[in-house]
Structure 1
Amino acid sequence: MKILYSFSFFLASVLSFPAFAQTATDLWVVETSGKSGKFKILPETAYALTNRPEYDNQPSFINEYQMVFSAADENDNFDIIVYNFNSKKFTNMSRTSDRNENSPMITDCGMYISAVVSEPDKKQRVWLYPLTFEPAELLYDDIEPVGYYDWYDNKAAMFVLGEPNHLVYARGRNDILTIDSAVARAIIKRPKTSEITYLSTDEFRDVGGQKAFMLKSFDIESAERSEYYFGVPGSQDFIWLDKNYLLMASGNNIYKRKYTETNWELVGTINSDTHQNITRMAYSEDLEILVVAMDRK
């Protein structure tokens, strides 16, 4: 049964392990113009989609008009929320009191919303939530604790916590490929390629006392490794606009660059008296909007 989302309860953040603790966040929407290298944001159009003292975070578009995100209530219980930009309505995809759902996104097959679930016994594993609202299914029972992930060829590339942490790709049940061991929290497939991209915490440069991490790539098909220069200083979050252009943020500023270039270009600033520090982002080319998570002041 679909349960309508109420602003009296849910909203979300990053996963619950100490390394990535967060403050209260809301989701903001800003219109955009241009594609690829001509991409800009229109700051005067920015507005708060959510506005509560709890957490709204980890936005991800699942089709041309719907987005999912994680949401927590006043008891720090996290669930998956669907927002429809056509109807302007929120719907609960999950409503569980004994577990937390984080990092929701559409699977490659388009039949499920996947999420990292913090289970009652404290395990963190990837589960699948059918779009038909049938019961969720556990995907990888032997891979945990998972932090962040993305999809390629209906299989997951996952940031697995440990000593050390590892970025792995599950080619099969007994065929787990280790990609790297020094990775930041964003694990993103480069569009229209077989590359898994991430920021390396081992390779960085110091810029004004902040770390700019190296953007790295691993090609699942060819096993080739590439480096795409440094990220924005102080940021661990990035997205791909398309195959060639990246977005990152620092404070309330949003930057883009072509993956083969070194310099970041400012595309706009979201000014707010109530919110600051953009982290997670999600872009819809169909709607020409960018959704960002921002800390409450």
Structure 2
Amino acid sequence: MSKNIALLVFLSLAICQTLHAQAASDLWVVDTEGKGGKIKLLTSTAKPLTNRPEYDNQPNFINDSELVFSAADQNGNHDIILYSFRTGNFTNLSKTPDRSEYSPNLTDCKQYISAVVVEPDGKQRLWLYPIIGEAPELLYDDIAPVGYYDWYDNKAAMFVLGEPNKLVYARGKGNVQEISKNIGRSVKKRPNTSEIAYLDRNDLKSTSEGDQVSIKSINLKTNTTESFGYTLSGSQDLIWIDKNHLLMAKGNEVFIKNVRDSDWLSLGKIESSTHQNITRMAYSPELNKLVFVMNRK
């Protein structure tokens, strides 16, 4: 086995092991009021949405009342779960004992739930799960191992694990654009633009509390880049709540930043005796709710 092949096998195994060794986590929800830069967290309303010793994580809203996320069963296998705020019901969108699904999201065409799938042989690629319940389809057979992604123009911008990690955009079969190398795990489309935002780990600010990573975007129509300042120290998950405002969290506290400003402003702290450390988040302006992940203590 050559050095390069051995390294790829090692990296693929490493990410699979990392995914399966995730810490026990739950989804929480908190009500909000106001929009954009005037958003407020009504922290007294915060409560668990799930409450299990397994892994519930990676939430994404797919419409104005439904959320999808990745959830582990007691055997450590991960499926896509749908939660309806309208009915309060949880529904399995996948139930696949031979593979695990992560990072579910709605495709641009709204006909599929996409997911990063760890396949039986360890490959980690992007698959599509038809909303009408038909068999899932492999989207890009030659792009792996995929870690995180988002959509623009019905094509995926993907974090591909490697040495270093890189961001690519699949413009078409055999036409995969490499955008950046050495990126962080947040890959998020900027609302109402042609831009994909990402974390550029080539541009760091070191602090006593951890590294601050440069937030950048690429316009996939013009190939121009833009910078939006730096992350919170030691944090790596961000979301857009509109075109001009980002949310991140540190510990149990949620922060907001306008793209034109350098400072992050606190929106409030979630008090809990059972959970800590907010990571991934999902926001619904229609529901006025922020869903976020917290680790069990």
TM-score w.r.t. the length of structure 2 is 0.93
**Aligned 8 A contact 2:159 2:168 in 1:** yes
Match of 1:93 in 2: 93
Deviation per CA, 1:76-134, whole angstroms, max 9, x where unpaired? 10000000000000000000100000000000000000000000010011100011111
C-alpha deviation, 1:19, in angstroms: 8.9
The yes-or-no answer on 1:149 pairing with 2:149 is: yes
Q: Distance in 1 between matches of 2:239 and 2:163?
A: 27
The yes-or-no answer on 1:191 pairing with 2:191 is: yes
| Structure 1 stretch displaced more, 245-254 or 159-168 | 159-168
Match of 1:271 in 2: 271
C-alpha deviation, 1:21, in angstroms: 5.7
* Equivalent residue letter for 1:181: K
Q: Distance in 1 between matches of 2:201 and 2:225?
A: 16
**Aligned 8 A contact 2:182 2:200 in 1:** yes
C-alpha deviation, 1:22, in angstroms: 3.3
C-alpha deviation, 1:162, in angstroms: 1.7
* Equivalent residue letter for 1:195: E
* Equivalent residue letter for 2:27: L
The yes-or-no answer on 1:137 pairing with 2:106 is: no
Aligned pairs for 1:110-189 (under 5 A) are 110-189=110-189
Match of 1:257 in 2: 257
Q: Distance in 2 between matches of 1:277 and 1:152?
A: 30
Unaligned runs of 5+ in 1: 1-14
C-alpha deviation, 1:74, in angstroms: 1.6
Match of 1:220 in 2: 220
| Structure 1 stretch displaced more, 40-49 or 197-206 | 197-206
C-alpha deviation, 1:17, in angstroms: 4.9
Q: Sequence identity, in percent?
A: 55
Q: Distance in 1 between matches of 2:46 and 2:130?
A: 32
Match of 1:246 in 2: 246
Match of 1:5 in 2: none
Unaligned runs of 5+ in 2: 1-14
* Equivalent residue letter for 1:248: M
Deviation per CA, 1:146-201, whole angstroms, max 9, x where unpaired? 00000000000001112222100000011110010111111001001111101112
For the aligned residue pairs, the C-alpha RMSD in angstroms reads 1.2
C-alpha deviation, 1:20, in angstroms: 10
Q: State the 4+ residue runs in structure 1 displaced beyond 6 angstroms.
A: none
Match of 1:3 in 2: none
More helix by share: 2
The yes-or-no answer on 1:68 pairing with 2:68 is: yes
